Amino acid sequence: MSSNLFIIGGGLAGCEAAWQAAERGISVKLFEMRPGLSTGAHATADLAELVCSNSLGSNLIDRASGLLKEELRILGSLLIKCADQTAVPAGGALAVDRVEFSKLVTQKIISHPRIEVIREEVREIPEVPTIIASGPLTSNGLSQSIANMSGNEHLYFFDAIAPIVTLESINMDIAFRGSRYGRGTQEQGDYINCPFQEAEYDAFVNALSDAERIELKEFDRLHEVEGGVNAGDHRYFEGCLPVEVLARRDMRALAFGPLRPVGLQDPHTGYRPFAVVQLRQDNLAGTLYNLVGFQTNLKFPEQRRVFRMIPGLENAEFVRYGQMHRNTFIYSPGLLLPSMQYKFRTDLFFAGQITGIEGYAGNIASGLVAGVNAARGIKNASPMNLPRTTMIGSLCYYITHADPADFQPMKANFGIVPPLASRIKMNKRQRAQAYSERAIMELNEFLKHEISISV
């Protein structure tokens, strides 16, 4: 077997995989098609560019996302280390300055003596040890190559990114700083909150529901029809629905979803708002804020008109509007092993969102598993399969064992983890804490006994 490893895709999973393999003595060629071939969603040529949000989710250990990141820290993840170093205030979450994060990851990768970054598109799957981490915006050529090899149709869903506004354009006579239940690293809270009264909320939801959306490109319409989707509807991933789709489902869907006001009190009135839009800091300088949960596919003028109905954003300056794009993932239950290996070719691995793992931290985790196992395979060692009681182990197991009839992208959550042995009655947070404690204990025990983990 070749001692070189090809990695296709310089996103979160590809960069983590490259680092893990290179740290284990493997020579890595990391292929990234940008800037020569753009995706339409990325804005720079940096590696590991964040597109959808600047948040990697909760850092709290009794949250699934927090446990996932703690496991990554234990396993020596490069990208989580970079995220910690470029973090911005976000309450109990890990959010980063997206520009500084990508720059730091790029610097680490290109300066590694065993990693060569090659800026070109790969259209065919190489016949050497390879990790495909091409992401949800995989190029048409490579997508076709994967489809030809697997003999399976790709699945498609549509993902959306949220708008960003300038801090100075937010009306702080109406908006206020605060984190739910007083959590946060800043005295006044890490989020800017735009409070709705009920009549304001109703008017906003009606406008949002009636606003014009951007038409899908003909290419995406083709796959929409092939996928059996009803006319006029789209195949969205439930975990990242455009805000206007939620608004159309029910008048109160947003108030009980991303705009829920629990744990917040408006200092201007002394009362809890009827609903609230939260804005999260997007860069270290604190000059840009993104609208949390406001992924959208509205036309740009409609975004400006409708989102300025949000109290405090009546004069908002938008530096980025929301967009929607087609995301691609493979049929992992039929194609992959929990080691991220392709079932029908042991020196081929997949990692990242193309596998059906959703969320930034989850993609990093799949890259770590693929990178470690690709290195182990090159050195003729058996693959590393993390305990199912860990969040990473459960994610890898879930996407490779999910019900074939209803396979959808999955984020980290305690519902995919094996149940606790204890029958002691616990509330939700106590149960989550017990899951996390068990995972960390068993991961540390696994690493003690996995003598060849550094292979």
Whether the per-residue pLDDT at 231 is higher than 50: the answer is: no
Q: What is the mean pLDDT of residues 301-328?
A: 90
Mean pLDDT computed over 392-402: 93
What pLDDT is attached to residue 62? 93
- The per-residue pLDDT for range 134-149, each reduced to its tens digit, is 887 777 788 888 888 8
Cα–Cα distance between 429 and 143 in angstroms, integer? 41
Residue 218 pLDDT exceeds 60 = no
User: What pLDDT is recorded for position 228?
Assistant: 31
In the predicted model, what is the mean pLDDT of residues 374-382?
96
Residue 325 has pLDDT above 80, yes or no: no
Tell me the per-residue pLDDT of 328-359, one tens digit each, with 9 for 90 and over.
788 899 999 999 999 999 999 999 999 989 88
Grade residue 425 by pLDDT with cuts at 50, 70 and 90: confident
pTM of this structure:
0.75
User: For 261-275, what is the mean pLDDT?
Assistant: 93
| Over residues 214-226, mean pLDDT | 47
What is the model's pLDDT at position 40?
A: 54
The CA-atom distances, in angstroms, between 55 and each of 214, 290, 313, 328 are: 26, 10, 22, 22
The residue count of the chain comes to: 455
Calculate mean pLDDT across residues 366-390. Answer: 97
> What's the rounded mean pLDDT across residues 378-401?
95
| Residue 55 confidence (pLDDT) | 86
Which domains does the chain possess?
4-154+330-449 (3.50.50.60), 160-326 (no CATH)
Average pLDDT over residues 96-114: 96
pLDDT of residue 335: 93
Cα 141 to Cα 148: distance, rounded to the nearest angstrom: 11
Residue 296 has pLDDT above 70, yes or no: yes
The tokens for 205 are 């939801």
Single out the residue of 47, 48, 7, 13 nearest to residue 27, CA to CA: 7
pLDDT at residue 41 in the model: 53
3-state secondary structure of 368: helix
Distance, CA of 217 to CA of 1 (rounded, Å)? 43
CA distances from 100 to 15, 49, 83, 283 (A): 16, 10, 9, 8
Averaged pLDDT of the chain: 87
pLDDT at 135: 80
